[in-house]
Structure 1
Amino acid sequence: MNYTLNQLNIFYKIAQNQSITKAAEELHLTQPAVSIQLKNFQDQFSIPLTEVVGRKLYVTDFGKEIAAAAEQIIHQVQAINYKTHAFEGNIAGRLTISTVSTAKYVMPYFLTDFMDANPGVDLVMDVTNKAKVIRSLEQNAIDFAMVSVLPDHLKINRVELMQNKLFLVGGTSRSRPKSYSAARILREEPLILREQGSATRNAMETFLASKDIQNSKKLELTSNEALKQALVAGLGYSIMPLIGLKNELGNKDLEIIPMRGLPIITHWNLIWQKSKKLSPTAQAFLDYIEAQKNEIIRDRFDWFEKYN
């Protein structure tokens, strides 16, 4: 047998995703390239690693055993790389972060310079909704989480990063009578909400309840990008974070509709469990954040402070 580390990694990703297409996307390769490597890898075994049933790929029991072995080998290689960097006096290791979906517009700016300065660090960042972020934190599956609403059932440490502002927003392409107040818009125009478990949805529903506003015309979308495009298309209105709207507001595709009680202001927080023993890599990142956060906010988010 003469399989390569690259083939092991490709097969491991195929087994993880149960899909050649998804594995190719993760690896930033073309689907034909992944298929060729899978065939070359398979040719070295007399027992099938995968099978296709009804156009769907399945990993065989033998394939699962090989995938598990491949995972161990890949982790050992990573450990060797980390140790090499460590002996050279560099920060090296795995940094795992889970963020709520709207934080994807914020978190990368707090990572860029740290990652550039520490090439031995491997970053894994999961972008999902609040419920899944907190679950990852509870299960000790991550180093840090980034949220705007703190979990009240966990003992956590935190670093407050920057404000999160939520405004009433609509698309400029949607026509409405000029006499409509913001409250009337929320009562009579279609409202677009995020899915259950989203902190943005919770904030919007809490605000509507505080104003005793009810509306039966509701649409639900499961991503911030989808919601934003729905607003641009004129499907309705929503209360959503300013942070992801820079280009659409600048292009005048969206507009902020003033209303008393808005914006809702919370703060983005980098959080971790108090009981967690941070790895040297995670501690180095935390030290970097505490030292550089004010400069990052000033340099990268000056536009954000103009909206109040």
Structure 2
Amino acid sequence: MNYTLHQLKIFLEIAENKSVTKTAEKLFLTQPAVSIQLKNFQDQFSIPLTEIIGRRLFVTDFGMEIAEAAQKIIDEVDTINYKTLAYQGKLSGKLRISVASTGKYVMPYLLSKFMAEYDGVDLIMDVTNKTKVIRSMELNNVDFALVSVLPKKLDVFSIELMLNHLFLVGSKKIKVKKTSVEKIFFEKLPLIYREEGSATRDSMEQFVSKNNYQVRKKMELTSNEAVKQAVIAGLGFSIMPLIGIRNELQNRELDIIPAKGLPLITKWQLIWLKSKKLSPCAVAYLEFLKENKIALINEHFAWINEYTS
């Protein structure tokens, strides 16, 4: 056996993604490079690790056992690296954060300076919908979560970061009167929704229900980017977080449409379980955030005032 750590990491991603293409994208490699490493790794075993059925890749039972062993090896290597840094007096370890999908426009700006300052810390950030974010906290898989609505069933601490404004938006291709949209007009708009489990979806449904609107037609898409592109293309209108449409507004691809009761306002908050024993990395990040959040928000998000003041 002469496999490398690089091969182990690639095979772990393949076992998780069940796809050479997705693995290549995640690891910033070419597909041929991933395929070659998978072949070289497979050549060291007489039992198949993967199989192709139809056009889909599946990991065999033996492959899954190898993936579990590979994960343990990678974890031990990480431990060695972290202990080495610790003996050198450097903060080290993993910082795990789960982020509600639209939060991807916020969280990186609150992390970049910290990660630059503590280069011994590895970041694992999962971007998904609200339901899965809360689930990851329930399973104690993360240190923190970024949400716009506090979970009702979890006992958490929280730090308020910034307001989240949600506006009715439409394509520049569709002409809409600049006066406030009235009920009769709103109900004629084809509305595009996020998927079930999305906090943006929940806010939009609550707004429609509160105003007793009868939605004429609705579509459902599974990401903020997909909704944004559909609105730009003129497929319909949607209530979207301002934080995710800055470029499209400035490029005059989207228009904010005034409507009674809008914008909806929630708060981006970083949360963690009260029962959680935070790692040194997590404690350091909390201290960093408390000291720097105002300056970082002013630096990166002052543009929001142009649309909300």
Per the normalisation by structure 1, the TM-score is 0.95
Secondary structure, in 3 states, of the residue corresponding to 1:58? strand
Q: Write out aligned runs for 1:86-165 (5 A).
A: 86-165=86-165
Secondary structure, in 3 states, of the residue corresponding to 1:306? helix
- Unaligned segments of structure 2, at least 5 residues: none
**Cα displacement string for residues 120-170 of structure 1 (whole angstroms, at most 9, x for unaligned residues):** 111111111111111111111111010111011111000000000011111
Residue 66 of structure 1 and its aligned partner are, at CA, apart by 1.7
Amino acid at match of 2:191: L
Residue 180 of structure 1 and its aligned partner are, at CA, apart by 8.1
**Cα displacement string for residues 79-114 of structure 1 (whole angstroms, at most 9, x for unaligned residues):** 111111111111111111111111111011001101
Amino acid at match of 1:105: Y
Secondary structure, in 3 states, of the residue corresponding to 1:277? coil
Distance in 2 between the 1:181 and 1:15 partners? 50
Distance in 1 between the 2:42 and 2:166 partners? 52
* Counterpart for residue 58 of structure 2: 58
Q: Write out aligned runs for 1:1-308 (5 A).
A: 1-176=1-176, 181-308=181-308
The 3 A distance-change label for structure 1 pair 37 and 210 is same
Identity of matched residues, %: 60
The 3 A distance-change label for structure 1 pair 252 and 43 is same
Secondary structure, in 3 states, of the residue corresponding to 1:197? coil
Distance in 2 between the 1:64 and 1:236 partners? 44
Supply the RMSD in Å over aligned alpha carbons.
1.6
> Structure 1 segments of 4 or more deviating over 4 A?
176-180
The 3 A distance-change label for structure 1 pair 119 and 211 is same
The 3 A distance-change label for structure 1 pair 108 and 177 is closer
Amino acid at match of 2:111: L
Residue 238 of structure 1 and its aligned partner are, at CA, apart by 1.4
Residue 214 of structure 1 and its aligned partner are, at CA, apart by 1.2
Distance in 2 between the 1:179 and 1:69 partners? 63
Residue 57 of structure 1 and its aligned partner are, at CA, apart by 2.2
The 3 A distance-change label for structure 1 pair 155 and 44 is same
- Deviates further, 291-300 or 194-203: 194-203
8 Å contact kept, 2:178–2:257:
no
8 Å contact kept, 1:170–1:236:
yes
Amino acid at match of 1:282: A
- Deviates further, 17-26 or 108-117: 17-26
Distance in 1 between the 2:38 and 2:274 partners? 43
**Cα displacement string for residues 235-276 of structure 1 (whole angstroms, at most 9, x for unaligned residues):** 221111110111111112111112232111111000011000
Distance in 1 between the 2:290 and 2:119 partners? 20
Residue 296 of structure 1 and its aligned partner are, at CA, apart by 0.4
8 Å contact kept, 2:180–2:260:
no
- Unaligned segments of structure 1, at least 5 residues: none
Amino acid at match of 1:181: V
8 Å contact kept, 2:164–2:241:
yes
Secondary structure, in 3 states, of the residue corresponding to 1:192? strand
Aligned residues: 308
8 Å contact kept, 1:164–1:267:
yes
Residue 4 of structure 1 and its aligned partner are, at CA, apart by 1.3
Amino acid at match of 2:261: G
Amino acid at match of 1:78: D
8 Å contact kept, 1:174–1:235:
no
Amino acid at match of 1:39: K
- Deviates further, 151-160 or 1-10: 1-10
8 Å contact kept, 2:188–2:215:
yes
Distance in 1 between the 2:213 and 2:47 partners? 63
- Deviates further, 256-265 or 154-163: 256-265
8 Å contact kept, 1:182–1:257:
no
Residue 178 of structure 1 and its aligned partner are, at CA, apart by 7.2
8 Å contact kept, 2:187–2:215:
yes
8 Å contact kept, 2:181–2:258:
no
